Amino acid sequence: MAVQEGMLLGMGNPLLDISATVKPELLTKHSLKSNDAILTEDEAIFNDLTRDYSVDYIAGGATQNSIRVAQWILGVKNATSYFGCVGKDDTCKTLESKAKEAGVNVQYQLSDHPTGRCAVLITGQDRSLVTKLDAANHFTVSHLDDAKNWKVVEACKAVYSAGFFLTVSVDSMLKVGKYCAAHNKTYCLNLSAPFLIQFFKDQMMSVMPFADIVFGNETEALTFAETFNLGTTDMKKIALAISMLPKENGSKGRLVIITQGADPVICVENGQVLEFAAEKLSASKIVDTNGAGDAFVGGFLAQYVQGRSLPVAVRCGIWAATHIIQQSGCTFAEKMDFKC
């Protein structure tokens, strides 16, 4: 299928990533884990980070990262679109210019709150994410009621939201999820972080029936199994259980994709469990694991919306993630050289 404008839509939390390689003591001081993601209302971590370290500012937010990667691979301007809420400030201008530069059709909702930020704390090959949502937390379903924006939903083949959006606007996710189910479009959800599965499980399970594709990593899958008492730590059994949860659009089965870093990617398609080998990089080549999962989703969806097979989509996801972890932040080279 030829690449078309508006094929893929992302809805999520647009954030400015403030990234640095830090000493483990900073994590200890703020009671943070080395490979985790949390929300905060506190400025302290941002103050410490910008005062004590040399930081990079990168257009971020999990969903926006995935959409930027997909856009890079699809290559046609405005092949992807993105909704999220930002402030009327300079940070918003930075985010918008980065997204538009990448070719993404961003349609931000504007808020009087400041644009959200994410402290990306890198220790070795781990990254700890601390997000202060601010404006991102104020996205409302009214943005979708605007006819111009709803046309973007109608035009797309697939919609993707990272699970982080569950803390912001479940109403928006349900509105779009229901539309996708009724019109046989593909709705995609990411488990995204253990805290979402533990503390936003009702919100997650309200959206799950509309999810045609569910992404996650091994930590999130294990948390899911524990939270929902699946009684197993076997990744294949967990993926299978997620695929069999109730589903609104019965015309297609739920595809579940669990990444495990350098270990094989586990997929469940039509009740069948498949494994795909990931690429192992030497530690010396790994610059920053932040964005690896986002990049995998972007690579996967770029092929999926073109109607390519599961093995090609997974291979592109692995390729994109492998590329991203050799860069600082979710950034990429000018030339896209993935071959199907």
Q: Which residues are catalytic?
A: 294
DSSP characters for 90-121? HHHHHHHHHHHHTT-EEEEEEESSPPEEEEEE
Computed from CA positions of residues 281, 287, 288, 292, in that sequence, does the dihedral angle turn out positive or negative? negative
How many angstroms separate the CA atoms of 156 and 145, rounded?
A: 16
How many angstroms separate the CA atoms of 262 and 111, rounded?
A: 40
| Token pair in block for residue 270 | 């039509």
DSSP characters for 286-332? ----TTHHHHHHHHHHHHHTTT--HHHHHHHHHHHHHHHTTSSSS--
Residues 6 or more apart from 178 whose CB is under 8 A from it?
210, 248
How many angstroms separate the CA atoms of 114 and 101, rounded?
A: 22
How many angstroms separate the CA atoms of 232 and 51, rounded?
A: 44
The answer to whether 242 touches 248, Cβ cutoff 8 Å, is no
The answer to whether 211 touches 189, Cβ cutoff 8 Å, is yes
Distance of CA 295 to the CA centre of its chain: 8
